Amino acid sequence: MSQSVQNGAAKDLVKEKGPLASALTDFWRAFRKNKPAIVGAGIVLFFIVLAVFARFIAPQGINDQNINIRLEPPSAQHWLGTDDFGRDIFSRIVFGAQLSLRVGFLAVIGSIIFGTLLGVIAGYFGKFIDTVISRFFDILLAFPSILLSIAIVSVLGPSLNNALVAIAIVNVPVFGRLVRSRVLTVKEEEYIVAARSIGMGNTRIIFNHILPNSFAPVIVQGTLNIATAILDAAGLGFLGMGAQPPQPEWGTMLSASRQYITNAPWTVLFPGLAIVLVVVGFNLMGDGLRDALDPRMKN
């Protein structure tokens, strides 16, 4: 009898896992057909590997200076040349990947957490709460993102961590409005009405039904916003309001080298190329995720 019960439980477990495995298989099948998305994912993976293994990949330390080889062009010794302090640009770009990806991921994660929380509250409970939260989103969206980021960093003080906080705050309404619109649709579905009718609490309904059915577009938007966050961090670094020297953040490297653009263009070219590649990679991957997760894009 015990053996029969165990077999029945095992069969139930297989049935529960079946739809998830099928959904993942369908997602991967749709995603891999999108060649630009695969290229984007490859670029992102490349920079993640650089960031994770920077200590082993970089041939020199980020602040190892040798004034005798300052502004040296790319060579076998220094693959991407040296900057005005004789520091190896390749090593600084590799370690800069850690800073840029950290800002991108942490800023977006923070935006998703607070934006989702506010969006769910506004969309699910509605009425006065919805009005207050929606007007808060409108106020934040009324300012250009880079100007609002500059204003926040001006109050907090220029640093990479404060730039991260500013970028996270600026992106909260993006996710908040996205989640709110999804919640407004999902909460009117029949299974939500049925859950309320049997006495299920609001917390269980939100976490068991609302959020799981509203999170796919958040994943797509989050991937796209990582690129935006990295770009904003580079912009703040270029203006001197983000990472501070001698941190090897790509925007800060551009700012420090802009005066050498005519006689040592490699000091500007390679940090700028790193920014372009990682932003393009996240955008291509985000487009692929959107196409793979959106049922309207499927045949």
Contact of 160 with 249, CB cutoff 8 Å: yes
**pLDDT value of residue 180:** 92
Which tokens in the block code for residue 66? 């040798």
Q: What pairs with residue 82 in β-bridges? A: 88
**pLDDT value of residue 9:** 43
Distances in Å between the Cα of 141 and the Cα atoms of 22, 101, 249 are: 39, 24, 27
Which tokens in the block code for residue 115? 């934006």
Q: What one-character DSSP code corresponds to residue 247?
A: S
Vertex 205: Cα angle to 204 and 209 (nearest 5): 115
**pLDDT value of residue 6:** 44
pTM of the model: 0.84
Q: How big is the chain, counted in residues?
A: 299
**pLDDT value of residue 2:** 46
Per-residue pLDDT reduced to its tens digit, 150-201: 999 999 999 999 999 999 999 999 999 999 998 888 888 887 878 788 888 8
**pLDDT value of residue 294:** 64
**pLDDT value of residue 5:** 43
Contact of 194 with 245, CB cutoff 8 Å: no
Tell me which residues of the chain have a pLDDT lower than 50.
Answer: 1-17, 299
**pLDDT value of residue 43:** 94
3-state secondary structure of 86: coil
Query: At how many degrees (to 10) do helices 266-293 and 89-125 cross?
Result: 30
**pLDDT value of residue 282:** 93
**pLDDT value of residue 1:** 43
| Residue whose token pair is 């997602």 | 27
**What domains appear along the chain, each with residue ranges and CATH number?**
40-297 (1.10.3720.10)
